[in-house]
Structure 1
């Protein structure tokens, strides 16, 4: 017996729309939505009231996968210093976003991106701005009291529509002077913290996850700043760093990627214990890329032709930058996937961050 999804009204996980305008059942419409870029999902909300109710339902929202929706990169011709740029996913390819609608764009620069939001900074006169490039909305922040030496945007689209901006303004011997802006209160608050490590060892590699800002401290520690309680702790890395490292979260746990001349190693922190999750051969990555030149993995790393970019927050997938190509690697299936290319042969391209963020009213409403 054939039964449409719309008639299954007795199930708590069933959904019914009176009409979707093109004769699709809700389950088929959901399957289509899960394969669309984030910007297209926003547009679909305008089709009809029934589509809007369907897309905004929490159960449906949870089913929408994280989509690679943005790339924060630097690009410039020749030997010039690459300019910070942001590209959005459109029809399976990435194109530089036009920020001409921002009145501050031409005399400011992008400093950080977090779950679909961008942090801009203007030096003269000094000012911070937070922008949502998908919705083309932005907000001007009040000025902090101190002069920022480094800043980061902290936003969790799953938990709250509010974001925080952290500015580091001073570096005592074993701590830091910082100011934290909360969009919930609209105020900056100053803090003096003891990180527990020599501040000379702190790097600018930071990652925000579940209310904590993780800061890489060379050669073998991570300083953890709880932005709710404003207290610090230290986590020892599974190995001392000699080359590049990257912090991220996946499946609800903190991860660390360490790459050297031979391989990429993926570690996961559960409790207070690091476990080696995966090893990926650098030479295998270059071979997959089709590079037939006589080039050692060491030379490739030194020339900036291999870089770890991000962990998928939900799946066992990582994203890599390999000789001009943005690609994914499935840690379970051990398979590579090509995503896109950015720039041209005449451009110097450096990918800083990629953004995977879900459809969420927290993303769309945080700058309302």
Structure 2
């Protein structure tokens, strides 16, 4: 039985019925102790869990009790991003309401600067620099990767990155974090290496289980050049990135790599331009694309959302198409997608050249929260879902 079905069954069997006798309701509720209810709720998706806060006042108090957070799945709290006005600064845009759950700088004393790299299931990947240099002047010798869990304050500094195998493999712009707490407390960091032609030549992989880096060459025939604005998305044990094939008139693809670096695949996607975004939602990779009707890249008229349910079949299925003509017409802005909600078909977008974050429910075609952002914000927004876990594999305990 699927997790969502379990939740629906639990709700039907425990939610008070309007036509039931008060005594019957009390007897039925007494069958489940708080510990039993928590155990059941901990196995449900976050979306179902937060819907069940409406079942009753005791259930609401049980779910919202801070002491139970470590046992229950969490919803999207907000987005990490950076601004570059008089230096680079870290920020957190909360979509759940209230103040930021942590200081987004997370800067250990030994580092002069920290750069946000990736986020995955409650863990954050930073690149720290020990010298007082601008990010574009950082060298490999000056930097170390840091993985942290801001909900618990634990973090681990990764060992120095291995040197490229050959001089031609010296470029490395993209790195990603892979972590699934439902499978293991261990994580992987993948750093992709590129040749002078910008095509991917291999990947360096850090495993928290071994505490060491390993290297794998690319094991597929196609040459793939990574998109400049891509970020890594981990779903179903595979890390995905956006790129294109120089050999086929720059057809856009997803590059998929497993955690051992042994399986490499390319998956064709609709024409991406600069307004496409990938994300992990409801357990699957999703691909969102803002497009225009007259193909002039001036006015975005609709957003399409695809889902990749099976990496082996390499087939993206169109899931939603939503018109935003009315919305963009009212605000006189052209929007680009910057994130996808992990639990539902809601996309997050920002206006090109603007400073607001807008949630758009594609299923009901409704505009949700609108948040003001800092000026001169970065192109990259990292979704953050809290993970109230006591341990982080290989954590320094700081």
Q: Normalised by the shorter chain, which TM-score bucket?
A: 0.7 to 0.9
Q: What is the aligned partner in structure 2 of residue 48 from structure 1?
A: none
Q: What is the aligned partner in structure 2 of residue 153 from structure 1?
A: 177
**Superposition misfits of 4+ residues, deviation over 6 angstroms:** none
TM superposition shift of 1:229: 5.8
Q: Is the 8 A contact 1:94 1:342 kept in 2?
A: no
Structure 1 pair 226–349 and aligned structure 2 pair: CA distance change class (3 A) = same
> Are 1:73 and 2:63 matched, yes or no?
no
2:225 aligned counterpart, secondary structure: helix
Q: Is the 8 A contact 2:191 2:203 kept in 1?
A: yes
Q: Is the 8 A contact 2:107 2:113 kept in 1?
A: no
Structure 1 pair 278–113 and aligned structure 2 pair: CA distance change class (3 A) = same
Question: Deviation per CA, 1:246-293, whole angstroms, max 9, x where unpaired?
Answer: 112323332211112322111123443332222223433324xx52xx
Q: What is the aligned partner in structure 2 of residue 331 from structure 1?
A: 362
Q: What is the aligned partner in structure 1 of residue 322 from structure 2?
A: 280
Structure 1: runs of 5+ lacking an equivalent: 17-25, 46-51
Structure 1 pair 250–275 and aligned structure 2 pair: CA distance change class (3 A) = same
Q: Is the 8 A contact 2:76 2:341 kept in 1?
A: no
1:278 aligned counterpart, secondary structure: strand
Q: What is the aligned partner in structure 2 of residue 311 from structure 1?
A: 340
Q: What is the aligned partner in structure 2 of residue 141 from structure 1?
A: 158
TM superposition shift of 1:143: 0.8
Structure 1 pair 101–247 and aligned structure 2 pair: CA distance change class (3 A) = closer
Q: Is the 8 A contact 1:243 1:258 kept in 2?
A: no
Structure 1 pair 88–241 and aligned structure 2 pair: CA distance change class (3 A) = closer
Question: Deviation per CA, 1:14-56, whole angstroms, max 9, x where unpaired?
Answer: 469xxxxxxxxx964542464x5xxxx6xx22xxxxxx5xx55
1:268 aligned counterpart, secondary structure: strand
> Which one of 208, 215, 218 corresponds to residue 193 of structure 1?
218
> Which one of 120, 124, 134 corresponds to residue 114 of structure 1?
120
Q: Is the 8 A contact 1:93 1:340 kept in 2?
A: no
Alignment of 1:85-124 (within 5 A): 85-87=90-92, 89=94, 92-95=97-100, 97=103, 99=105, 102-124=108-130
Comparing 227-236 and 97-106, the one that deviates more: 97-106
Q: What is the aligned partner in structure 2 of residue 131 from structure 1?
A: 148
Structure 1 pair 13–122 and aligned structure 2 pair: CA distance change class (3 A) = closer
Structure with the higher strand share, 1 or 2: 1
Number of residues of Structure 1 aligned to a counterpart in Structure 2: 317
Q: How far apart in 1 are the matches of 2:378 and 2:196?
A: 32
Q: What is the aligned partner in structure 1 of residue 193 from structure 2?
A: 169
> Are 1:269 and 2:308 matched, yes or no?
yes
TM superposition shift of 1:207: 1.6
2:357 aligned counterpart, secondary structure: strand
Q: Is the 8 A contact 2:75 2:343 kept in 1?
A: no
Q: What is the aligned partner in structure 1 of residue 255 from structure 2?
A: 223
Alignment of 1:2-21 (within 5 A): 3=26, 7-9=30-32, 14=37
Structure 1 pair 68–314 and aligned structure 2 pair: CA distance change class (3 A) = closer
1:138 aligned counterpart, secondary structure: strand
Structure 2: runs of 5+ lacking an equivalent: 1-22, 40-54, 131-141, 165-171, 245-250, 292-299
Q: What is the aligned partner in structure 2 of residue 179 from structure 1?
A: 204
Question: Deviation per CA, 1:131-188, whole angstroms, max 9, x where unpaired?
Answer: 2222222111111212644322222233221111111234387642221111111111
Q: What is the aligned partner in structure 2 of residue 20 from structure 1?
A: none
TM superposition shift of 1:317: 2.1
Q: Is the 8 A contact 1:167 1:179 kept in 2?
A: yes
1:119 aligned counterpart, secondary structure: strand
> Are 1:235 and 2:267 matched, yes or no?
yes
Q: Is the 8 A contact 1:157 1:360 kept in 2?
A: no
Structure 1 pair 98–313 and aligned structure 2 pair: CA distance change class (3 A) = closer
2:377 aligned counterpart, secondary structure: strand
TM superposition shift of 1:327: 2.6
